Structure 1
Amino acid sequence: MNAQDPKLSTPQASQAADPLAQLQDIHLPPEIGLWPPAWGWWLLATLLIVCIGTLIFLVRRHQTRNAYRTLALKELNRIHKHYSLEQNAEYLQEVSILLRRTALSGFTSQFNASLKGGAWLEWLDQQCPKAQQQFSKGVGEALLTGPYQKNPEFDRAKLHKLCEIWIKEHRNQSQQTKKIKTKQEAKGV
């Protein structure tokens, strides 16, 4: 076999002798698209939607249950601005009515509207520990006799602050129910 043999010098013959020449380029798979996402992303999206929905529900329920507090605070501030310092008896009467209306709104089935005198003030203290007994043993006592006096003497700023604290911080009916259930669970009932 001569190196000059025409059969071996053709390009086809040289390809047959070189196996690497017969290989084709590597075909890459198509790029992975963003859609549709993997099942883990669907699960995460569902969980996120459920969490956001639950959060919105809880916030709205809290706002609905406590809307009466916002209205009562606005009314308390209106009363405070409306009555001058010479109209203390009228001021005390309006504040007392406002506290009763607030109690009726927050404690629809548990509030005894016939409470009067010291029992009424003690009830106010019981519903708001932050009041620190100031209704029955402090400035709140003016609510008992003040509306019936011509010109009662009391610290109006302290009473206003006390009523503001009570409206903001008292435990309403739904909070009372949770507390009772927690105590029963602790006892094992």
Structure 2
Amino acid sequence: MIESIVFDIGETITRDDRYWATWADWLTIPRHTVSALVGAVVAQGRDNADALRLVRPDIDVAAERAAMEAAGRGERLDETDLYDDVRPALSALREAGVRIVIAGNQTARASKLLRRLDLPADLVVTSGEWGVAKPQPEFFQRVLGVAQTEPSRTLYVGDHPANDVFPAKAAGLRAAHIRRGPWGHLWADDPEVAAAADWRIDSLTQLTAIVAD
């Protein structure tokens, strides 16, 4: 029985459209160019920040992010950044008695912005607050700590096989791969992902039936 569900953030809970558009505008690069480069590095199995390095090889991503914040052009999140199924799915799962945690690779600022949205979740936390990021095993040990349930009763939901599905399974959790965003679509039918994931879903609302079963 699944007692706790932990959700990835980018392209699971939130769309990344605004994030990449903000970078494109800051670096004065056409938005379509940045989107295409993100797709290219994803297909090559590279870090998505490599998309920025392809247009600015000497970029210091952390320094540029700080400059964006100082200029008032940093991270923003509001209701329009959420996928449409997020609130209905999380609400239904909480009504079913499931503990809901949102935990992903995001900045500490992103966690504050998400908390302001008052999502139906018991906890929102990010790698920026923990000081450890996926796919490191320590991240998933933290996940188990905040989930407050046994690994076999804890489900991690995410779009990225290398960051979500595989390390979650290695930590003993159950895993659901969502066909969403570039990573989710690219690897949706990959044999290794199909073998590793306990469930493959197209919408977060499908989790209610999974919990019921």
Place the TM-score, normalised by the shorter chain, in its bin.
under 0.3
Tell me which structure has the larger Cα radius of gyration: 1
Tell me the TM-score normalized by structure 2.
Answer: 0.22
Tell me the TM-score normalized by structure 1.
Answer: 0.24
Higher helix share: 1
Larger relative contact order (CA 8 Å, sep ≥ 6): 2
